[in-house]
Structure 1
Amino acid sequence: MHFGKDLNNSLTFRVPAPRSTQPKTNAFTLRASLPQNADFPRYYSKKEKRPFPVPVLELRRAARARAKSMRGKPRKPPSAPRNGLLVWRLIPVAYDVLNARTTLINNLRKLMKVVPVHACGYCTEIHVGPVGHPFKSCRGPRCEARKGLHEWTSANIDDVFVPVEAYHLFDRLGKRITHEERFSIRRIRAIVELCIQAGVDLPDLPTKRRRKPVIRIGKNEIIDANEDDLPDLQEIGHEPNQMPIFAGYDLLESSLETLQNPVSDEEPLEKSPKLGSVPLPMPSFANYDLSKRALEPTENPILVDDNLLDESPMLAEDDEKLLKSSVENPSEPHRKPILPELPNSKLHAPSTSEETLEIAYETLEAWDTLRKGANKLMKKYAVRACGYCPEVHVGPSGHRAQNCGAYKHQQRNGQHGWQAAILDDLIPPRYVWHVPDVCGPPLQRELKSFYGQAPAVVEICVQAGAEIPEEYKATMRLDIGIPSNLREAEMVV
């Protein structure tokens, strides 16, 4: 053969793909909704601002898309709770969240008498177990002299269930709290304030309840609708600051009358001497019989759109039953009893292992109810958090008190960097190291990368005998084998 420079022909070899000899079968695949392993929550330094829950670019993109879709269309009236009314389907959720918080605190005080919990005297870290962990992770004062080691002391309930406080608002749609009013307004637990704004009535914490939607006359200016045509609350057996469950019935009845007798184009709307014509939202309930006070449905059942649920005083079948029961018993409105929070001196430690196990499962259930219920409330009722400090405000917009003492607060004149809060801002989980075997050897400093973490409440219940919930197994690293000594750990690839 002759291989020269003038050779222009190229040879191409094609290898056929191998055919699979295995028969094709329909494989059965199991997919878990929860990950097998997950990273620990990130620690943010005090010198950096926490990121927004939703990036700013996505918020701007969504705002432009929303403005483009609404171009040329009439503006919809604001829905509850932006119009001053309550979201009726969330009132039982608010009572459940408040009672779950009380149950959680009472049970944690009982379990902490049998499960040892340690807290560092210089930083905010805690540990659940017979002895404190040996890890050098202290960031408190004089931590360099102690080489990052913790000095463990006994912990209390506030170390496990962190109290997050917020200002109590008498009117959640009122004016923002100024810097001069920061000491004159009462501060309460943020989760309690969220429940109050969602419909819980507490006698020592009055709040303003509206029975008609507010009228907006500007971007940040509203006035209350006239409620003189509604019955007086004292006449039907309610406190002035408490609203009955069926208070929205009068608005519903007037809306139904308007739908059955619509205003023609020739008849002008009745105008206010100051504000002019302000139409109110009129939900579609045309298939209900107005002759009966309890709003019994006619032969044709009503079909409610999902987008209309939040704009109407009656949201679902459960709210309809709630409305009927309230109308039948106006002197006894449908409200759940509120559990009292007992002091530590009146609570006794469980005497048997069965009682300890029962309290542990009840605590896990209360913890799950508290977090899931608070997450539902936060989707409707706005909660703000400062990106620099742990300050939380329950309301449409943050307060104006200049009391932020975080990094470089002088450049911001002490003002908070308000952003949308997440669930961990309202209910901090306080992650601690998971002890695989309480009766076994203590945690070793060299094997730190093999241990997992869990919220302090979950770790206390697990050490009390409860099974580990599925949603917390990802960060506890249960499927990772822990070496018995350092030499075995060095052999791990």
Structure 2
Amino acid sequence: MALRKRAWQNVTGDLFGCVMQARFYRSKVDLKKLRPMILKRIESRAKDYPVHSMVPVAQEVLRARADLFQGVSTLLKVFPVMACKFCPEVYIGEKGHSIQTCCGYKRRAKNRVHEWISGCLNDILVPVETFHLQNMFQDVIKHQQRFDFDRVPAVVELCWQAGVNPYDEDMYSGNWNLENVTAASEGAESFSPNELRLIANRTLRAWEILRTGVQKLLLVYPAKVCKHCSEVHVGPSGHKARLCGVFKYESWRGAHFWEKAEVDDLVPPKIVWKRRPQDPLVLVDAHREFYGHAPAVVDLCTQAGIIAPTKYYCMMKVQGLPGPV
């Protein structure tokens, strides 16, 4: 009996303590009084940007991006890339695979065989554009203002807000220039295997530097991505341009639903099916669970004879079986 009484006293004491420590707030808040305080905090916060310690990181990201575009453009002159006519599927090889993962024209079907055409640079390095802001803490872009702002690559905008001018020619070193990608890649068919391996090695290193640098910048500079589409906005808050679900088969037409952006949102890895040495010449749909995957840039670079980083081995299923035994 004494134990029950003591336990009951402990429970009532804890509940009484919780009630005493609870705080009650007014349900009505005067936003007119809070608005000057919020604007003042935004102005004071803008004084801390750009962060000077992140400027070298942004410069390294832009240089890596230039090397990546140059390297991929050169490798595409030698190694064929196939892209599906009706969906975003890409395959590195002379012939496409036979895996039935196509959604068809306007997504009217599913699990169909792909119809392959020749791929291009945008199939490997997916372009992600965003609105260019004059100031990171400027007013939110309204729907009627969407044509008043330029659209630039999201990585370039991120580095721009980090305090780096992407059009500064002194920042780019070496003979690889992003503005002259097509001219520099002419004559790539005459490269020796050793030269192709050097180009692939530099391209893969630029790919890793780019993704690592963007990840560091996202820890300091905010970026948003829409939950329902791939729209990206570099800034503390998303824009109000109603561009989400503009196609007929999308029923949620209207404003974006913003959430925190990650590295894959600004630099899409573009995962493709990876053909291993033990696999057949054409990947078949019946054995699709045995095949591996890899980012398109990694798969393209390995075609030149270099070894992929070990962190991709699990995704690629390097030691996996080609089919059922």
TM-score (norm 1): 0.53
Counterpart Cα distance in 1 of 2:294 and 2:44: 36
Where 2:179 maps in the other structure, the secondary structure is coil
1:374 paired with 2:217, answer: no
**1:430 matched to which residue of 2?**
270
**2:261 matched to which residue of 1?**
421
**2:311 matched to which residue of 1?**
471
1:455 paired with 2:295, answer: yes
**2:138 matched to which residue of 1?**
174
**2:151 matched to which residue of 1?**
187
Name which of 96, 119, 124 aligns with 1:155: 119
Report 1:137-152 matches (<5 A): 137-141=101-105, 148-152=112-116
Where 2:276 maps in the other structure, the secondary structure is coil
CA 1:360–1:418: 2 relative to 1, 3 Å? same
What is the CA deviation profile of residues 350-375 of structure 1, one whole-angstrom value per residue up to 9, with x for unaligned ones? 52100110001001100000000000
Name which of 317, 338, 341 aligns with 2:179: 341
Counterpart Cα distance in 2 of 1:143 and 1:93: 40
Report 1:218-229 matches (<5 A): none
Counterpart Cα distance in 2 of 1:145 and 1:179: 33
CA 1:201–1:143: 2 relative to 1, 3 Å? closer
**In the alignment, is the contact (CA less than 8 A) between 2:55 and 2:164 conserved in 1?**
yes
Counterpart Cα distance in 1 of 2:230 and 2:71: 26
**In the alignment, is the contact (CA less than 8 A) between 1:95 and 1:195 conserved in 2?**
yes
Aligned length: 276
Question: Match for 2:156: what amino acid?
Answer: V
**In the alignment, is the contact (CA less than 8 A) between 1:384 and 1:397 conserved in 2?**
yes
Counterpart Cα distance in 2 of 1:78 and 1:368: 34
CA 1:80–1:192: 2 relative to 1, 3 Å? farther
Counterpart Cα distance in 2 of 1:385 and 1:162: 15
Alpha-carbon deviation of 1:84? 4.2
Alpha-carbon deviation of 1:80? 9.9
Counterpart Cα distance in 2 of 1:417 and 1:380: 22
CA 1:136–1:99: 2 relative to 1, 3 Å? same
Alpha-carbon deviation of 1:147? 6.2
CA 1:458–1:137: 2 relative to 1, 3 Å? same
Report 1:309-388 matches (<5 A): 336-337=171-172, 339-348=177-186, 349=188, 351-388=191-228
Greater alpha carbon shift after TM alignment, 112-121 vs 339-348: 339-348
Name which of 246, 252, 257 aligns with 1:409: 252
CA 1:85–1:447: 2 relative to 1, 3 Å? same
CA 1:125–1:81: 2 relative to 1, 3 Å? farther
Counterpart Cα distance in 2 of 1:100 and 1:80: 33
Report 1:216-255 matches (<5 A): none
CA 1:137–1:169: 2 relative to 1, 3 Å? same
CA 1:174–1:474: 2 relative to 1, 3 Å? same
**1:86 matched to which residue of 2?**
50
**Structure 1 gaps, min length 5:** 1-76, 205-334, 484-488
Greater alpha carbon shift after TM alignment, 446-455 vs 342-351: 342-351
Where 1:188 maps in the other structure, the secondary structure is strand
Alpha-carbon RMSD across the aligned residues, in angstroms, is 2.4
**In the alignment, is the contact (CA less than 8 A) between 2:242 and 2:256 conserved in 1?**
yes
Counterpart Cα distance in 2 of 1:375 and 1:81: 22
Counterpart Cα distance in 1 of 2:103 and 2:113: 9
**In the alignment, is the contact (CA less than 8 A) between 1:92 and 1:336 conserved in 2?**
no
Greater alpha carbon shift after TM alignment, 156-165 vs 172-181: 172-181
Alpha-carbon deviation of 1:129? 1.4
**In the alignment, is the contact (CA less than 8 A) between 1:129 and 1:438 conserved in 2?**
no
Alpha-carbon deviation of 1:343? 3.5
**1:131 matched to which residue of 2?**
95
Report 1:57-136 matches (<5 A): 82-136=46-100
Counterpart Cα distance in 2 of 1:145 and 1:169: 40
Counterpart Cα distance in 1 of 2:183 and 2:321: 42
CA 1:459–1:385: 2 relative to 1, 3 Å? same
**In the alignment, is the contact (CA less than 8 A) between 1:117 and 1:128 conserved in 2?**
yes
**1:28 matched to which residue of 2?**
none
**Structure 2 gaps, min length 5:** 1-40
Greater C-alpha radius of gyration: 1
Counterpart Cα distance in 2 of 1:147 and 1:474: 25
What is the CA deviation profile of residues 237-280 of structure 1, one whole-angstrom value per residue up to 9, with x for unaligned ones? xxxxxxxxxxxxxxxxxxxxxxxxxxxxxxxxxxxxxxxxxxxx
Alpha-carbon deviation of 1:171? 0.9
Alpha-carbon deviation of 1:78? 8.8
Question: Match for 2:178: what amino acid?
Answer: P
TM-score (norm 2): 0.79
Counterpart Cα distance in 1 of 2:58 and 2:158: 8
Alpha-carbon deviation of 1:444? 2.4
